[in-house]
Chains A and B, each alone.
Chain A
Amino acid sequence: MSVLELSDIRRVFSRNDGALDRAMNRVGLGRKAQHLVAVDDVSLRLEPGEMLGIVGESGCGKSTLGRIAAQLLPASGGTVTWQGRPIAQMPPREARAARRKIQMVFQNPYASLNPAMSVARTILEAPLSHGLIRRRDSAAFLAQMLDKVGLSPDLADRRPHALSGGQRQRVGIARALAVSPEVVIFDEAVAALDVSVQAQILNLLVDLKAQGGFASMFISHDLNVVRFISDRIAILYLGRLVEIADRDTIFARAHHPYTRALLAEAPQLGGAKRRFTALKGELPSPLNPPSGCHFHPRCPHATDLCRSTRPALRDIGAGHRSACHYDLPQVAPQTQGT
């Protein structure tokens, strides 16, 4: 059974009309209503212990999806199922317990840590208030958590401003793990870090994953990072899931033209010098997405069908699903340069 299942999740943001707008609407003079479909019928399952990478460019809805999964943001439609039961249908006590089992680690550890709280309080607050540990055990628990994320016990009394970026992110991870979550959602958790610090945190995540105990979603714009850390990878484009498969399948046999473009454009260390040739066009505005397949204006293979009809996310074998109308021939794997 999946730990967490998202079914047909949809999230629409609408402009908040003021009193004047409402009055004008009544007399038929209102501005046109604007709706932004940030997440457009996305279905995903998270299996126990796995790390699912969620990749996409800005505005693809990856963070919104993460927040919905973490129950920080309500969905406009669809169901979040926790261990076989829809959270929305649980009695409040159980729903709260389920929510506690889903924790989140954010991009900017400085903004997501309380500047007035010491490392010790940041980590201990939730487990103490939920009654997961006894007060007299808290010192031992804190030492254990600090050790788990590779922080020195000397840092326990520090406030966030007295920590480096990497140390702050370790505190953010320790805080999430302190309530024994079964799912952790990492939202661009290494994006703001320098490469040497990013490497330390990624190594830590590999170790924590190996110790087991939680499944995770790893949301990132960086394909190289996602490739390093994830077991399976989901690719979003303008709110829609366009492809999902296990990691090696994505990199060996990407099916969707957008996935292929992303793979071709991601800078690759050690790649030979090359002429950059880019995918044409801009990312369309999510306020006014293209008809049919959202990717068609930028797709080199688009046809009339793509312009008119949204492609279904279809199974193309062994858990590999792709939302392209066509089975385009595989091009030889891109070895950049010589």
Chain B
Amino acid sequence: MLTVETLVTSLTAKGTPIVRGVSFDVQPGQILGVVGESGSGKSMMAYSLIDLLPRGIAIAGGRVIFDGQDLTAMPMAQLRRLRGDRIAMIFQDPMVALNPVLTIGEQMIEAVLAHRRVTRQAARARCIAVLARVGIPSPEERMAAYPHEFSGGMRQRVVIAIAFLNDPALIIANEATTALDVTIQSQIIAEIQGLAAETGAAILWITHDLSLLSGFADHVMVMYAGQVVETAPAERIFPAPRHPYTAALMEAVPVPGRTRLANLPGVPPALDALPTGCAFAPRCPRVQPLCREQAPPVTDGARCHFPLEAKP
């Protein structure tokens, strides 16, 4: 349903690539988790898909095929009609997504009317139904409330309600629960899981939290220095990561019984000063001379010359 082919996104001034040839696809109803540390390019990759890139950053190559059309070649007006309709977005901070001077009802009804030829009455009914679906108590009264009158968790529910309003085929969520408390995070994930199952929407879930993905994603894609370094179904990647970076990330997470965490030395490379060969080589515990000379091929989902053996 969404197919991304060798997407490259660069800083326009210097031509430095920050997303370096990312390819993947997402199927209807699938939850694809994208994980990476700061600067891995995961957010810029997501913003590239729907051309929400900040000034000074632009797509430099590749294709983004959605419903048979290449979004990178689409006129802005047409892409704008897709956003908020067939493709919805959820960001970390709901206050950025919501207009503080409009009531929730006003902005939700507007979101329906912008994409659907229905009466105001019908749009309103749809909004109330979706608010109820995401667990907002007394949705009819809450339609008249302003964003600041909601708690953080409730606000993020409203954003999710808006995302699902027009039955999107694809939802892009960037750190959508990162700012929330753990009990509230679980509520939000439960809603997303339920809605995805009901509507068949595909979900691109971007996060820095590997643990969250392990209970939630169908497929996981790990990014490092602008590239996908490993991609695999959740049931394969968690028990048996093949890329040393994925393995190190997992060993860096405190889990019960662990008394020592992986010490991954150093920091990710600056994207304008990438090492020759594998970008992870300077930090890799399994590095060989070849890694510093040649960019590694992708085998069995891992971009590595010497991937870890699959566990029996």
Q: Which of A166, A200, A228, A273 contacts B234 (CB under 8 A)?
A: A273
Contact B253 A195 (CB under 8 A): yes
Give the shortest distance, in Å, between A160 (CB) and chain B (any CB): 15
Q: Which of A197, A198, A251, A275 contacts B193 (CB under 8 A)?
A: A275
Number of interface residues of B (CB under 8 A): 48
Contact A57 B183 (CB under 8 A): yes
- Known A-B contacts A224-B253, A228-B261, A269-B238; A196 and B248 likewise in contact (beta carbons under 8 Å): yes
A164 to B251, CA, bound (A): 21
A197 to B37, CA, bound (A): 10
A251 to B210, CA, bound (A): 21
Contact B254 A224 (CB under 8 A): yes
Is B250 part of the contact surface with A, judged by Cβ < 8 Å?
A: yes
Q: Which of B187, B218, B251, B260 contacts A278 (CB under 8 A)?
A: B187
Interface string of B278-295 (1 = CB under 8 A from A): 000000000000000000
A227 to B153, CA, bound (A): 25
Contact B186 A278 (CB under 8 A): yes
A26 to B305, CA, bound (A): 78
Which residues of chain A come closer than 8 Å to B254, judged between CB atoms?
199, 202, 224-225, 227-229
Which residues of chain B come closer than 8 Å to A277, judged between CB atoms?
186, 190
A119 to B267, CA, bound (A): 19
Contact A202 B261 (CB under 8 A): yes
Number of interface residues of A (CB under 8 A): 45
- Known A-B contacts A224-B255, A269-B255, A279-B183; A274 and B248 likewise in contact (beta carbons under 8 Å): no
Contact B182 A57 (CB under 8 A): yes
A195 to B254, CA, bound (A): 9
- Known A-B contacts A221-B181, A265-B182, A268-B255; A195 and B190 likewise in contact (beta carbons under 8 Å): no
Is A329 part of the contact surface with B, judged by Cβ < 8 Å?
A: no
Is A262 part of the contact surface with B, judged by Cβ < 8 Å?
A: yes
Which residues of chain B come closer than 8 Å to A44, judged between CB atoms?
none
Q: Which residues of B contact A (CB under 8 A)?
A: 37-38, 151-154, 181-187, 189-190, 193, 208-212, 214-218, 234-235, 238-239, 248-256, 258-265, 267
Given A57-B182, A221-B181, A272-B215, 10 new contacts (CB under 8 A): A57-B183, A196-B37, A224-B253, A225-B254, A227-B254, A251-B256, A267-B185, A267-B215, A282-B154, A283-B181
